[in-house]
């Protein structure tokens, strides 16, 4: 099955022939190799590039075992691309299989007629390492699991049920190969335990692997809730009888972030225009992975929807924070009191800024629920948007707030500006 990843392919094409090493990163099994070896290679062929000009080295394949030495890798590629007057495209997949690979990659990139692209397993190859490893000679293309828009385009079933399935099982590409729901569930559960957690434990020499797994579970269960390391340590002890220090919790969370499994959304004081140190929210990279760890609890769908909206915003390139709004309101006795309200997301891209609330139902005019009131009280002229888990056509209400259905928000990349 062919799955189009046009946004990421466009980023590769835009960077083509630049002097930088193109580094494709992302959580394991999200489609990095497919992007380079199938979609990008097909693009090159469509531009008239011959197969002899495309050198692909799949370092996790035993047939390339001899090339896992950095000197042997360099010599192999130079042997496959010997003509200095010909443009070559070098694709090195799973580069972490080569010890001290940086020197070999930089050496290959020094060939003026070589355009170098690499992927790496994030158990040993992290985006935060790129500038150090390649001395500012690398540029990152971060990819995510399938967005709902990509999933919808490849979905072969009844499109009316596509969103329901996506909210349950997420966007890991290989799910399309699984024949039924039970197989999908097993695939996700095995992916977490046998690939992701084992990777994190191995790379970071984690001494408490069971505690790491328990922490993973807690972060999935608390998606959409404010947490901090001390609170998580208390939860682990109270609910799972796991004794762990705050510092260890903080370190383990960092390991999970480094592996692209979770992202931290900081709290942002909307009126004060400043970040608050703690607590924060942690969102899993894929809602299906989250659901697998909480045994697909149906009563937890609201936080799953929030997770999907967060991931969509990040996939579109926005920086995303959790908004905090302090305002004065009258209580039941008519006295003015200070109250803290939360705006689910503050999304920024360049000079553009959006305030977004995720809701279960369409707000009722001027007397909407507290979530809607939070948006109405946000000062300033930036766009305010309510994403609602109901089917309807988007509209702007009398307060200037865009009300858009979850499905339309996810399918239309420009939905923030409807």
Place of tokens 């007397």: 367
* pLDDT attached to residue 344: 95
Give a yes or no: residue 287 inside a domain: yes
Instruction: Identify the three-state secondary structure at position 284.
Output: strand
Mean pLDDT of 253-262: 92
Tell me, yes or no, whether 277 and 324 share the same domain.
no
* Helix (H/G/I), strand (E/B), else coil: 69: coil
Instruction: Indicate whether 99 pLDDT > 70.
Output: yes
**pLDDT (0 to 100) of residue 399:** 87
What percentage of the chain has pLDDT greater than the value 90?
74
Examine the fold and report which residue of 94, 121, 142 is the final residue of a domain before the chain moves on. Answer: 142
Q: Are residues 169 and 198 in the same domain?
A: yes
For residues 39-51, give the mean pLDDT: 98
Do 273 and 372 have their domain in common?
Answer: no
**What pLDDT shows up at residue 137?**
87
Decide which of 142, 169, 191 is a domain's last residue. 142
Ranges of beta strands (E only) in 85-199 are: 88-93, 114-119, 138-142
Same domain, yes or no: 221 and 287: yes
How many other CB atoms are there within 10 angstroms of residue 141's CB atom?
20
Q: What is the pLDDT of residue 362?
A: 74
Does residue 164 sit in the same domain as residue 307? Answer: yes
Helices (H), 47-92: 70-80
What's the pLDDT score for residue 115?
Answer: 98
Q: pLDDT at position 379, please?
A: 87
Question: In angstroms, rounded to a whole number, what is the distance separating the alpha carbons of residues 217 and 144?
Answer: 21
Q: What band does 170 get if pLDDT is binned at 50, 70 and 90? A: very high
Q: Parallel, antiparallel, or unpaired for β 114-119 and 352-359?
A: unpaired
Domain identity same for 361 and 244 = no
Query: Cβ(377)–Cβ(341) under 8 Å?
Result: yes
Of residues 126 and 142, more confidently modeled: 142
CATH number at residue 16: 3.40.50.300
Tell whether 181 and 53 lie within a shared domain: no
Is there a single domain that holds both residue 153 and residue 300?
A: yes
Q: What is the DSSP string of 344-388?
A: EEEEEETTEEEEEEEESS---GGG--HHHHHHHT--SSSEEEEEE
pLDDT at 127: 55
Is the sign of the CA dihedral 309, 393, 418, 327 positive or negative? negative
- The 10s digit of each residue's pLDDT in 329-360 is 766 666 777 788 899 999 999 999 999 999 88
Statement to judge: residues 304 and 278 lie in one domain:
yes
Spell out the residues 6+ positions from residue 277 whose beta carbon is closer than 8 angstroms to its own. none
| Amino acid 120: pLDDT | 81
Joined tokens for residue 246: 């705050």
**Strands 54-58, 88-93: parallel, antiparallel or unpaired by DSSP?**
parallel
> Which residues, 6 or more positions from 346, have their beta carbon under 8 angstroms from its beta carbon?
268, 270, 320, 321, 322, 323, 353, 354, 355, 356
Average pLDDT over residues 232-250: 90
pLDDT in tens, 281-335: 999 999 999 999 999 887 778 889 999 999 999 999 999 999 998 877 766 666 7
Q: What is the pLDDT of residue 326?
A: 84
Domain count for the chain, please give it.
3
- My answer on whether 239 and 371 are in the same domain is no
For residue 60, pLDDT over 70 is answered with yes
| Domain encompassing residue 351 | 319-417
Higher pLDDT, 304 or 1: 304
CA pseudo-torsion sign 218, 219, 220, 226 = positive
* Residue-level length of the chain: 418
**Over the stretch 362-406, which tens digit does the pLDDT of each residue have?**
766 554 446 788 898 898 889 999 999 999 999 998 889 999 999
Residues 218, 224, 225, 231, CA torsion sign: positive
State the alpha helices, DSSP H only, in 32-136: 32-34, 41-46, 70-80, 102-109, 130-134
């Amino acid at each position: 099955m062919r799955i189009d990843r046009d946004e990421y392919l466009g980023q590769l094409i835009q960077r083509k022939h630049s002097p930088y090493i193109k580094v494709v990163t992302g959580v394991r099994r999200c489609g990095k190799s497919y992007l380079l070896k199938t979609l990008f290679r097909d693009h090159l062929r469509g531009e008239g590039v011959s197969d002899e000009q495309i050198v692909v080295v799949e370092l996790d394949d035993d047939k390339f075992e001899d090339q896992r030495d950095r000197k042997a890798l360099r010599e192999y590629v130079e042997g496959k691309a010997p003509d200095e007057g010909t443009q070559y495209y070098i694709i090195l997949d799973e580069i972490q299989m080569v010890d001290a690979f940086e020197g070999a990659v930089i050496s290959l990139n020094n060939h003026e007629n070589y355009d170098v692209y690499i992927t790496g397993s994030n158990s040993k190859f992290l985006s935060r390492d790129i500038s150090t490893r390649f001395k500012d000679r690398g540029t990152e293309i971060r990819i995510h699991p399938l967005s709902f828009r990509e999933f919808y385009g490849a979905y072969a079933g009844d499109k009316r049920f596509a969103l329901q399935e996506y909210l349950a099982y997420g966007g890991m590409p290989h799910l399309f190969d699984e024949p039924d729901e039970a197989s999908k569930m097993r695939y996700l559960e095995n992916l977490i335990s046998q690939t992701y957690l084992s990777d994190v434990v191995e790379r970071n020499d984690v001494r408490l692997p069971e505690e790491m797994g328990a922490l993973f579970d807690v972060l999935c269960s608390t998606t959409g809730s404010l947490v901090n390391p001390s609170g998580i340590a208390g939860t682990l002890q109270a609910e799972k009888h796991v004794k762990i220090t705050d510092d260890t919790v903080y370190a383990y969370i960092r390991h999970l972030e480094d592996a692209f499994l979770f992202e931290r959304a900081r709290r942002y004081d909307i009126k004060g225009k400043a970040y608050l140190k703690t607590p924060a929210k942690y969102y899993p990279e894929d809602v299906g992975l989250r659901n697998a760890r909480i045994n697909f609890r149906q009563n937890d769908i609201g936080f799953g929807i929030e997770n999907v909206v967060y991931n969509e915003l990040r996939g579109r390139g926005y920086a995303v924070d959790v908004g905090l709004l302090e305002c004065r309101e009258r209580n039941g006795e008519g006295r003015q009191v200070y109250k803290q309200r939360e705006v689910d997301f503050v999304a920024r891209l360049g000079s553009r800024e959006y305030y977004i609330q995720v809701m279960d139902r369409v707000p009722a005019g001027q007397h909407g629920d507290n979530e809607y009131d939070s948006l109405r009280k946000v000062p300033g002229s930036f766009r305010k948007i309510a994403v609602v888990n109901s089917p309807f056509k988007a509209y702007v209400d009398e307060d200037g707030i865009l009300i858009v259905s979850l499905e339309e928000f996810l399918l239309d990349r420009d939905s923030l500006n409807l």
